[in-house]
Amino acid sequence: MAPRAPKIVDLRYRSAQRCLIFAIGDVHGELALLQAAADAIRRYNTRHLKHVVMLGDYVDRGPNSRGVVDYLERRSARPITCLRGNHEQIMLNALTARDSSTLERWMDLGGAATLKSYGAEQLDLDALASVPDAHVAWMDQLPHAALDEHRIYVHAGVAPDVALEDQTEQTLLWIRERFLKVDRPQRFPLGKHVVHGHTPVWRSKPDAALPELLEHRTNLDTGAYGTGLLSVGVFDAARPGGPVDLLSIPRASLPRASLQEPFRYAKAG
């Protein structure tokens, strides 16, 4: 079976509307941080319109994946675009296949915390029934990327030297080194700046808690579930390049210094 073409949301109309795009990095079950980010965006002082782009990975690892999905699902009618992350795809795979090997793969990448948030007491195939059909349907319709006049928004990244319409779902959800090694925007589709998450630690991003700001891409995954910091990039839809502002949303009660260790083992997910 040929791979499905990725679903891409066109936000280029926003460039003519004096609009700010607020891109939110990987949440991973951190509902309190997501709510604090939404409040910071509401209070952000601007005469521009506002549009939120979520970069995926709403579930797994953190304490309240169910709460995050509930929260985002209820906001679908607002000016928000929620993209699919690889963790949503892993969860969907487990819920669809309902076999032990697919479930084990999900558990290895943080799915146990998600099932517990749905009230599951045993982490077995029967526990999959705890996930509401409405949540499955919401995740299944999530697009893989969005673009405005100057940028591509995507969970993991894009394959260099490949047109956007020819990218695969697997690439947009999982790519790392081949994408991260690119050093100029001309190798990205349409020469656009890429806004992404997925990689809290990388050789040029040794501190998980800091976003990576480069001429050709912006990495907003600051490992919220481990660092206690959720990052929001503010982009002017009418202007090319990286963010015009950054919002760092802290979970003040979490001591950051003790939380770098998990990322030595989390790079594959």
pLDDT in tens, 59-109: 999 999 999 999 999 987 679 999 999 999 999 999 999 999 999 999 999
Residue 268 clears pLDDT 50, i.e. is over it: no
DSSP SS3 for 164:
helix
Single-letter residue type at 78: R
In-domain check, residue 191:
yes
Mean pLDDT of 141-151: 97
What whole-number distance in Å separates Cα of residue 115 and Cα of residue 97? Answer: 16
pLDDT tens readout for residues 97-141: 999 999 999 999 999 999 999 999 999 999 999 999 999 999 999
Would you state the pLDDT for residue 207?
96
DSSP SS3 for 137:
helix
Query: How confident is the prediction for the chain on average, in pLDDT?
Result: 92
In-domain check, residue 170:
yes
What whole-number distance in Å separates Cα of residue 154 and Cα of residue 144? Answer: 7
Would you state the pLDDT for residue 53?
98
Would you state the pLDDT for residue 14?
86
Would you state the pLDDT for residue 2?
58
Q: What is the CATH number of the domain that holds 70?
A: 3.60.21.10
Count of structural domains, the chain:
1
Query: Which residues span the domain enclosing 163?
Result: 8-88+142-264
Would you state the pLDDT for residue 260?
39
The DSSP result for 178-209, as a single string, is HHHT--SGGGSGGG-EEEE-S-S-BTTB--TT
Residue 258 clears pLDDT 60, i.e. is over it: no
In-domain check, residue 123:
no
What whole-number distance in Å separates Cα of residue 117 and Cα of residue 17? Answer: 39
Would you state the pLDDT for residue 253?
53
Higher pLDDT, 32 or 252: 32
In-domain check, residue 99:
no
In-domain check, residue 23:
yes
What whole-number distance in Å separates Cα of residue 256 and Cα of residue 251? Answer: 9
Higher pLDDT, 17 or 246: 246
To the nearest whole percent, how much of the chain has pLDDT over 90? 87
Per residue in 77-89, is it b (16+ CB within 10 Å) or e — as a string? Answer: eeebbbbbbbbbb
Mean pLDDT of 5-29: 93
In-domain check, residue 201:
yes
In-domain check, residue 224:
yes
In-domain check, residue 251:
yes
Would you state the pLDDT for residue 214?
96
Lateral strand order in the sheet of 19-24: 80-82, 49-54, 19-24, 229-236, 245-250
Residue 269 clears pLDDT 90, i.e. is over it: no
Would you state the pLDDT for residue 264?
38
Confidence of residue 262 (pLDDT cuts 50, 70, 90): very low
